Structure 1
Amino acid sequence: MRTIEREPDIAAARPGRAGLHPVLIGLGLMLVAFNLRPALSSVGPLLPGIRAETGLSGALAGALVTVPVLCLGVFGRLAPVLVRRVGPDAGVLAALLVLALGLGVRGLGGLPSLFLGSVIAAAAIGIVGVILPGIVKRDFPDRAGLMTGLYTALLCLGAAAGAGFTVPARHALGLGWEGALMLWAAPALVAAAAWLPFARGRDKPAGGAARPSGALWRDPLAWQVTAFMGLQSSLAYIVFGWLPAALVDRGLDIVAAGLVASVSALAQGVLALVVPTLAARRPDQRPWVVLVVSLPLVGFIGLLVGPLAFAWGFALLLGLGLGGCFGLALTLIVLRAGDPRAAAELSAMAQGVGYCGAALGPFLVGIAHDWSGGWGLPAALYAAVCLSAGSFGLLAARNRTVRI
């Protein structure tokens, strides 16, 4: 294999954590993980009120959901640069503070602040999302699977909290939508305070992981994994951005709509934990692709155009499916790579390109809703994304490895 330029490996360095109990480190990781989704899931329940108050069009509302998702992929590429300069632990601390800043900016009032704060918050989330898996691998080498599962579950819990508690907190405290969004800066600051002992006096990482090789970008399997990662992410962010608004349009009050979205987000944690464990036991994961893609197909379309009497059941199916899709996408990145270096390269490609592609989904749903005035066309668009995700997932789930 040709020699390629190296850049810092987030997972390779293992500075000591003298005096820090593994339980404390784990709790710190869970607090950080919890804060990686409320910034994204808290906007959807408030979107009907924001549109009514500001006159925000469907296209711009779709952009409000789309731009942060795009930032996850774009700014995640800055994580290696930050790690090289300050180390992974200080990098997480810095990103948490930036996240709190972005959440605070969203509450200053007006659409420019809302968009700017959302970009700042999403940029921080993208950076932390790239760094954290390496920290898990470094500090819990013998329990990486367990910690990854717990990390994913807390991430889903944070998404559920953002979807379910934003509107009730707004009503209880008598806040406008700006203040309700600003509230989520508080747990981010708590996480930063809890992470501070881990970031103080830590050595900078040494050693390196390779830059993505040209061979990987020419490998059809790598693009199949990337496409599945991006399409299943698009399914999730369409739900985060538009499910509460759709339910309100269909007759639910805004609190009930937020609770349905919260139940769906909370259910994601179940299969996000189960699917990776079971799918990794077999060389071929195609049956799991069929299962996890079918569930959100039925669940979301049922919520958009089905009888509202079954809304809670549809929400449960939707959440289980999205959690299974996310867990399976991460699992395929590992299983389709032949060695750790290939896994690192494939992960960077799949998440960087995948999240950028995923950003189109919420934007297109906003345009479809504006153009049609209802939710039938967005439901058809969601079905098309599901079928596309299933098609690429079936290709990516075959027992092969990428070539680098």
Structure 2
Amino acid sequence: MQADKAAFREFAHWALLVVLGLNLRPILSSVSPLLMDIRADTGMSFQSSAWLTSLPVICMGLVALLGVRVQARVGERYGVALGLTLILGACLWRFYGAHAPSLLATALLGGAGVALIQVLVPVLIKRQFPHRIALALGVYSASLMAGGGLAALVSPRVALHFNHWQSGLGIWLIPALVALVMWWRLPLGASVLPEAAGAAGAGTRPWYTRRAWLLALYFGLVNCGYMSMVAWLPAYFVQMGWSAARSGSLLAFMTVFQVIAALVMPALAHRSIDRRPLLAISLCAQALGYVGLVMWPLDSPHLWVALIGFGLGACFALSLILILDHCRQPREAGQLASFVQGAGFLVNALSPWLTGWLRELTGSFVSAWWVLVVAVVSMLVVTAVFSPASNARSVFAPPGG
């Protein structure tokens, strides 16, 4: 009986990890396939509508930078619950948000919720799955990306069924509600008391070290293509004559390969302490995919999108593992993940906005895809820095150091 209870509890922990991940990207990816309808009803330009993707990411970055303080005030259990409640509230508001200001407000609200959860999950994983960190990060990353792809696939169909694009955005309150109920009944390795979180955060200052800043820049640039793809990939193909549903399905197809990479690459990473070969493969896949979108977009669109998806999925999961490689304790993971994700997401936030600006300026998305190629190739060079020996050194400086 005790063995059965333990097995059920372990299964429930894994299921909760998946459900949490599924809720972290629909707030972004549900917008893109419906962007033309949204722009037609609200009068938003390409550049202004880019804020629907950029604002949540900016909010993710700012809240993540304050993540340890939030954790210290409300605790991990209440922090994740608050994040899910904010996502639920943003989706509910989107049912009625027919104007640009209300949509932008929901982007901020949902982005804050996502940020709270993203900051706390690495801490929870390091505590709940201490001997299976790579696998747990892979499952979390895969579910996060699956949520984004599912939203891109389902949202335009829901909107078409109800003839109401707000329904396609608001439907994602359902999984948020499910996750909130599950979390409250069985919090994943969470510290309940705020004081425990506050004590855990004392005395560590990763933002004073060059390695922490390098990790933040690296995390931001190797993952920034995802934000541009989520914001603009469907619009790119809609402009070439594809329907909203078909272009959204292309984003969902990309997600399939993100999920595969997020599961496979961490499993391979578990066999070696050197992350550089797998990161190099992942960055090369991204670069080839972006070049294909520029040169032969209609010849083999699924091939290019598959390469991009594989590269992005692998880079996200491997970059999280890279962060934890620099940490010895869960409290260090919380500090470093907060800083790296916070600063990294602020870098990410520039990507959809820059893509929209270049689209307005040049009348084409091609220049934006070339910018992504340059960013990825630059990070391919930087990857050489992350040797196992250098990763093993602590990035934490003493107070005042």
Do they fold alike, i.e. is TM over 0.5? Answer: yes
Q: What does residue 370 of structure 1 align with?
A: 360
Pick from 366, 378, 381 the counterpart of residue 388 of structure 1.
Answer: 378
For residues 165-223 of structure 1, the C-alpha deviation after alignment (integer angstroms, 9 at most, x for no partner) is 11112112322x22211111121112112223236x98425542245745x43433322
Structure 1 residue 70 and structure 2 residue 61: aligned?
no
1:374 aligns to what SS in structure 2? coil
Structure 2: distance between partners of 1:354 and 1:190: 29
| Structure 1 pair 338–128 and aligned structure 2 pair: CA distance change class (3 A) | closer
For residues 53-83 of structure 1, the C-alpha deviation after alignment (integer angstroms, 9 at most, x for no partner) is 3331122122221111111111124443443
Structure 1: distance between partners of 2:183 and 2:201: 28
Q: What does residue 56 of structure 1 align with?
A: 44
Pick from 150, 157, 171 the counterpart of residue 183 of structure 1.
Answer: 171
| Structure 1 pair 340–189 and aligned structure 2 pair: CA distance change class (3 A) | closer
Once the two structures are overlaid, the 10-residue window that deviates more, 249-258 or 86-95, is 86-95
2:299 aligns to what SS in structure 1? helix
Q: What does residue 4 of structure 1 align with?
A: none
Q: What does residue 105 of structure 1 align with?
A: 93
How do 1:117-132 residues align onto structure 2 when only pairs under 5 Å count?
A: 117-132=106-121
Structure 2: distance between partners of 1:394 and 1:211: 32
| Structure 1 pair 277–202 and aligned structure 2 pair: CA distance change class (3 A) | closer
Structure 1: distance between partners of 2:233 and 2:384: 27
Displacement after TM superposition at 1:302 (Å): 1.9
Structure 1 residue 314 and structure 2 residue 304: aligned?
yes
Structure 1 residue 333 and structure 2 residue 323: aligned?
yes
Structure 1 residue 225 and structure 2 residue 225: aligned?
no
| Structure 1 pair 338–183 and aligned structure 2 pair: CA distance change class (3 A) | closer
For residues 293-335 of structure 1, the C-alpha deviation after alignment (integer angstroms, 9 at most, x for no partner) is 1112221332344241311111111110101111121121122
Pick from 137, 160, 168 the counterpart of residue 148 of structure 1.
Answer: 137
Identity %: 30
Q: What does residue 147 of structure 2 align with?
A: 158
Q: What does residue 94 of structure 1 align with?
A: 82
2:50 aligns to what SS in structure 1? helix
Structure 1 residue 353 and structure 2 residue 376: aligned?
no
Structure 2: distance between partners of 1:287 and 1:143: 21
Structure 1 residue 271 and structure 2 residue 261: aligned?
yes
| Structure 1 pair 206–368 and aligned structure 2 pair: CA distance change class (3 A) | same
Displacement after TM superposition at 1:337 (Å): 4.0
1:250 aligns to what SS in structure 2? coil
Matched to 1:246, the amino acid is: Y
Structure 2: distance between partners of 1:102 and 1:293: 34
Structure 2: distance between partners of 1:298 and 1:390: 13
Pick from 153, 156, 168 the counterpart of residue 167 of structure 1.
Answer: 156
TM-score (norm 1): 0.87
Matched to 1:42, the amino acid is: S
Report the number of matched residues.
386
Unaligned runs of at least 5 residues, structure 2 = 397-401
Displacement after TM superposition at 1:100 (Å): 0.5
Displacement after TM superposition at 1:402 (Å): 4.3
Q: What does residue 399 of structure 2 align with?
A: none
Unaligned runs of at least 5 residues, structure 1 = 1-16
TM-score (norm 2): 0.88
Structure 1 residue 29 and structure 2 residue 17: aligned?
yes
Once the two structures are overlaid, the 10-residue window that deviates more, 94-103 or 256-265, is 94-103
